[in-house]
Amino acid sequence: MSAYRHRLALGSLVIDYVIVRRPRKTLEIAVEPDTSVVVAAPLAAGLDAIEACLRRRASWIVRQQRYFSQFLPRTPERRYIAGETHLYLGRQYRLKVVPHIQETVKLFHGYIVVQTHRPNRAEVTRELVEAWYRDRAHFKFAERIELNLGRFPDPEAFRPRGLIVRQIRQRWGSMSPAGRLLLNRRLIEAPVDAIDYVITHELCHIAEPHHGTAFYELLDRVLPDWECRKQRLERIMA
């Protein structure tokens, strides 16, 4: 979908935002970890209606931007060279690249060990590590979904219809109107309690699609310490 940049002036406050149009019925505003504002809007939604919604949510937008600002600047891009540190389930591991006839990745004594017959090519190391992360993410996320469903009085009513793991630039996760759960591949680098926060947050959207009062009342009931988990997620993954 195409994205369009806009600016809304509210007195001394200026909100820069991006509109992403999708085949959906409702409008959603999100503040991303880099403090950018993204509006997911129905295809037919007019700019006046979008900006009216932004005006109503302006104080919330500012609070979210201030919250994420404390974690900036974020970690620079990894180069996938030996000795570099990488996260897995909240712990730091050093990258070790070992010449070998086979190409594999494994954890061993505080290292992510990459065996490859092309040890001097960082792009190959990147591909191998990313494939390993994706495999671990699919396995671990499915396991955590099952465990977190148990937080709800009727777990089957909150079961997602599918799981998608994808590297996305900003969000940690989302729940589609059809009930498909999307989780950011990078989330496998976070501590398990933070992964559980994101999963539980998104499962709540099956009953409450929007971030309104009813949504937060549900989240408070099933995960009372969610704010601490969220803060830890943003701090560690910054």
Segment 36-92, tens digit of pLDDT: 999 999 999 999 999 999 999 999 999 988 888 877 666 677 889 999 999 999 999
Strand partners, 4: 19
Q: Alpha carbon of 127 to those of 94, 132, 157: distances in Å?
A: 17, 9, 38
pLDDT attached to residue 170: 72
- Looking only at the bridges linking them, the beta strands covering 37-42 and 13-22 are parallel
Single-letter code of the amino acid located at 135: D
Report how far residue 169's alpha carbon sits from residue 16's, in angstroms, rounded to the nearest whole number: 18
Domain assignments of the chain as residue spans, ordered by start? 3-69, 85-236
What pTM was computed for the model? 0.75
Assign residue 110 a region (left: φ > 0; alpha: ψ between -120 and 50; beta: otherwise): left
Q: Within 10 Å of residue 167's Cβ, how many Cβ atoms? A: 11
pLDDT attached to residue 73: 61
| Domain 85-236 listed as CATH 3.30.2010.10 | yes
Report how far residue 65's alpha carbon sits from residue 162's, in angstroms, rounded to the nearest whole number: 31
pLDDT along the chain (238 residues), means of 10: 81 92 88 88 92 94 87 74 94 96 95 96 96 97 98 97 90 93 96 97 96 95 96 86
pLDDT attached to residue 2: 60
pLDDT attached to residue 1: 53
Report how far residue 27's alpha carbon sits from residue 92's, in angstroms, rounded to the nearest whole number: 39
Long-range contacts of 128-135 (CB under 8 A, 24+ apart): 128/103, 128/104, 129/80, 129/86, 129/95, 129/105, 130/167, 130/185, 131/105, 132/105, 133/88, 133/185, 133/188, 133/189, 134/165, 134/185
Q: Within 10 Å of residue 229's Cβ, how many Cβ atoms? A: 19
pLDDT attached to residue 99: 96
Report how far residue 19's alpha carbon sits from residue 106's, in angstroms, rounded to the nearest whole number: 41
